[in-house]
Amino acid sequence: MQAGVEAAAAVLRARVEDRLDGDAPHVAITMGSGLGGLGEEIEDPVRVAYEDLPGWPRPTVIGHAGHALIGTLGGRPVLGLSGRVHLYEGGPPERVVFYVRVAAALGIPVLFLSNAAGAIGEGWHPGELMLISDHLNLTGTSPLIGPVVGAESRFPDLTFAYDPELRAIMRETAAELDHKLHEGVYAAMHGPAFETPAEIRMLRTLGADAVGMSTVPEVIAARALGIRCVAVSCLTNYAAGVLDEPLNHEEVLETTKLAQADFQRLVAESIRRFP
């Protein structure tokens, strides 16, 4: 796996040198389900298909395009990642965090993550955004299981998994833009089935405000590598049992469109201000 990481990093490094005059991207941006429109905001991007990157896992879920974008956003050099793989797509957990290890190999100091999530918080509604303050890892696994890889910490501290300084910048930016931005705890489940109403009641008792099937493995790996993290959930549906209605992935993708404009502006302006 590590050999694939180095090989993929070498391909991207060459493209970075061409597009960014040798400057390493300052932020890697993960675009979650239906949120790939953010890639359209990256200026003069160089597009690299995942299939052209050695060892790079390819998404199989609708709403995840499967390419990297090298360019600038908010005036900062970035590596945009349109599409990710999930634990439920199969394979070992380290497959999910392959791109995080590539970002570390490229020397990228900040990881911005986004996802689609179900709203658990009282009075929270689909189409709104939530800044993640902390998480519950209920996937039943970790990307760090097994031998230590490269410079990763064996026992990373997750007290400040979601960087307080970067979160403060996003809160301030949202206020200036007059965008509603909740802040709360994200619960990560393995999937692919949506949660049951009983599971949602459990998550609410545990303190979760939103639930999804991604992000947490990547944050764990990033913190083990010393990468600063900040993450935003697009609330795409009410979690199971909040309403007496069934859930489906098509609804998730459709609702992301409601938040797309606010999301894109918030991210671009926040990245402009990131240290």
Peptide bond between residue 77 and the one before it cis (omega within 30 degrees of 0): no
DSSP of 72-128, one letter per residue? EETTEEEEEEE----GGGSS-HHHHTHHHHHHHHTT--EEEEEEEEEE-STT--TT-
E strand spans, 199-273? 210-212, 228-238
pLDDT at position 32: 78
pLDDT of residue 252: 64
Give the global pTM: 0.94
Residue 34 is predicted with a pLDDT of: 67
Q: Which residue has the tokens 């459990």?
A: 202
The whole-angstrom separation of Cα 104 and Cα 51 is 20
CB environment 196-206: b (16+ within 10 A), e (fewer): eeebbeebbee
Structure-token pair, residue 54: 């050695």
Return the SS3 of 213. Answer: coil
H or E stretch covering 222: helix 216-224
pLDDT of residue 24: 87
71 forms beta bridges with 78
Q: What is the pLDDT of residue 158?
A: 98
Residues with catalytic roles: 33, 64, 86, 88-89, 116, 213-214, 237, 249
Identify the bridge partners of residue 54 per DSSP, sorted by sequence position: none
Q: What pLDDT does residue 251 have?
A: 67
The reported pLDDT for the residue numbered 98 is 97
Tell me the per-residue pLDDT of 24-48, one tens digit each, with 9 for 90 and over: 899 999 997 767 789 889 999 999 9
DSSP strands (E only) in 139-272: 181-189, 210-212, 228-238
| Per-position pLDDT tens, the chain of length 275 | 688 999 999 999 999 998 888 788 999 999 977 677 898 899 999 999 999 999 999 988 776 789 999 999 999 999 999 999 999 999 999 999 999 999 999 999 999 999 999 999 888 989 999 999 999 999 999 999 999 988 899 999 999 999 999 999 999 999 999 999 999 999 999 999 999 999 999 999 999 999 999 999 999 999 999 999 999 999 988 888 777 677 676 766 676 677 788 999 999 999 999 99
Residue linked to tokens 């429109």: 37
3 state DSSP class of 263:
helix
Domains of the chain, first to last:
2-273 (3.40.50.1580)
Query: Locate tokens 């639930």: which residue?
Result: 211
